[in-house]
Amino acid sequence: MVTVLEMSSRADLERLCEVAMAKGASGAKSMSARGVVVDPRVRMKCMVPLCANYGRNLMCPPNVMSPDELSRVLERYHDAILVQYPIPMDREFVSGLEGKKLEDIYESGEYAERMRRSELEFMEVLGEVERQALGMGYRFAAAFSGGPCRLCDECVGQGSGEACRHPFRSRPPMEALGIDVFLTARNAGLEFEMPPKDHPVWNGLVLID
């Protein structure tokens, strides 16, 4: 027997997916929170090789909850929404990076600007989905982004004693919490290329409850 509450919940999830798509997402699908895959090896990849944001960005390890802590939190959630947003890296631009060292690519002005601009746009999409969910009465709605927080040119960082400058906008990335983004997206029915080739996308998650 389907209850009114269950029907309303599905309608709300569909509406939230529509909100994401209207804001420019390339994909948005609801899924069971049981489909969110947590693997400590993902968190390990923040350290091997060492990410430049490790210990320097407040939204990155070791400043965020551990995979074990997130797993316990996920047990209390029923639903989630996986959101994808396009990264403007066309084949012509990417081909111009072939043969270059990763350090040189990351420091490329145009590469960094494309990543920063699209990620900031993506964070706005996730923030809007979260706001709409809270407005619907889902008081534990929580969004997780993709990639390091780029709201500031330089994060105040660990050990500075300063608080985050954007506490209501900044969100930790899925990877920082140990979420296997590839498998989670597959469970949501939104697979993506790995490694990315023609259509790179940001992946974000909004927990709903």
Arithmetic mean of pLDDT, 185-192: 96
What confidence category does residue 106 fall into, taking pLDDT thresholds of 50, 70 and 90?
low
Ramachandran assignment for 157, one of left (phi > 0), alpha (psi -120 to 50 degrees), beta (any other): left
- 111 residue type, one letter: Y
> In sequence order, what are the beta bridge partners of 199?
none
Rounded distance between C-alpha atoms, residue 207 and residue 209, angstroms:
7
pLDDT exceeds 70 at position 182: yes
3-class SS of residue 181: helix
For 17, residues 6+ apart whose C-beta sits below 8 A from its C-beta are: 28, 29, 30, 81
Q: How high is the pLDDT of residue 194?
A: 83
| pLDDT per residue as tens digits for the range 134-155 | 999 999 999 999 988 999 988 9
pLDDT exceeds 50 at position 83: yes
Arithmetic mean of pLDDT, 51-70: 94
For 21, residues 6+ apart whose C-beta sits below 8 A from its C-beta are: 27, 28
Output the average pLDDT for the chain: 88
pTM of the full predicted structure? 0.88
Rounded distance between C-alpha atoms, residue 38 and residue 109, angstroms:
33
pLDDT exceeds 80 at position 158: no
CB 169 within 8 A of CB 119: no
Strands (DSSP E) found in 33-157: 79-86, 142-144
